[in-house]
Amino acid sequence: MSIEWHTLDREPSLPGLYARAATRRKITGTQLPDDGLRCWVDVNGQKLAAYRKVCGFADDGLLPPTYPHILAFALQMQLLTAKDFPFPLLGLIHLSNRIRVLRPMGGISRAQVGVRVHNLQPHSKGATFEVLTTLDDQLGPLWEAESQMLCRGVKLDGEPVERSWETSQVLTQVAQWTAPADIGRQYAKVSGDYNPIHLSAASARLFGFPTAIAHGLWNKARTLAALADHLPKANLEIAVHFRKPVRLPSAVSLLASAPGSSGELRLIGAGDLEHMVGQWQPIA
């Protein structure tokens, strides 16, 4: 499929996009748009420092491996609330996320973000698609990611194909932390992601959750911050699958294999409840 790229001269404004998302509740089709959005963005030092603090990253002079998602968030919002996007943004479920750090992300003050969607597939609960996000500097590609999203209630022909996510290596506990009751609001302030399911028990109940749950990408960011000494700084692919949500507040434990170029991880809660599983490896 050929992509028609639209280049914006500035980042979209989030308040208007949230208003658009709030008024769209219906599925309007089963075909993804074949265009993408690009935009140059500036890296704000104060915002980056606030993100590091909320997610637990040390200031090592590099962008955290999850930070390009923050730079791309407004562009993703614009794409997923456009008239030709067929699914309502509110209610989408983030199933998995794969990040590839192609080169060390140091000394970056300005970069180009690109976003598009593809790979619509049947699922036992609806349909999945992927949001593809890229980050480039003047030298070329730096980083890329795929986020698999589920839209419930979509009817597609074909047999659902479920991904297998199992750990096979010996894992030991490397960290523990508490996700406090207000971490959804803290993360929203540094990410722009004010999805109601993360903000309070009252707003989460409107979408069928008994209490607020942590952002999936906060869980991943907090995990990668804890694994900073385990992971290479570049030529790195990190894939995770989100399983049971982290209800707020909750204590969690991170298990991982030994430091190295490849390995596996599990984020678990009380009673060995599995919140997230994943692996890291060199980019093929």
Tell me the one-letter amino acid at 62. L
Confidence of residue 206 (pLDDT cuts 50, 70, 90): confident
Smallest CA-to-CA distance from 266 within 250, 244, 248 is with: 244
234: CATH: 3.10.129.10
Residue 175: the pLDDT is 98
Q: What are phi and psi of 222, to 5 degrees?
A: -60, -35
Residue 265 β-bridge partners: 256, 278
What's the total number of domains in the chain?
1
Helix, strand and coil percent figures for the chain, each rounded to 5: 25, 35, 40
Least confident window among 23-32, 39-48, 106-115, 151-160: 151-160
Pairing of strands 236-242, 93-101: antiparallel
- For the chain, what is the mean pLDDT? 94
Task: Return all residues near 105 (Cβ < 8 A) that are at least 6 apart.
Answer: 62, 63, 65, 67, 68, 135, 142, 143, 234
Smallest CA-to-CA distance from 85 within 2, 144, 151 is with: 151
* pLDDT tens, residue by residue, 133-180: 999 999 999 999 999 999 998 988 888 877 777 777 889 999 999 999
Confidence of residue 49 (pLDDT cuts 50, 70, 90): very high
Tell me the one-letter amino acid at 208. G
Range of 151's domain? 4-281
Question: Given CA atoms 263, 278, 112, 1 in this order, what sign does their dihedral have?
Answer: positive
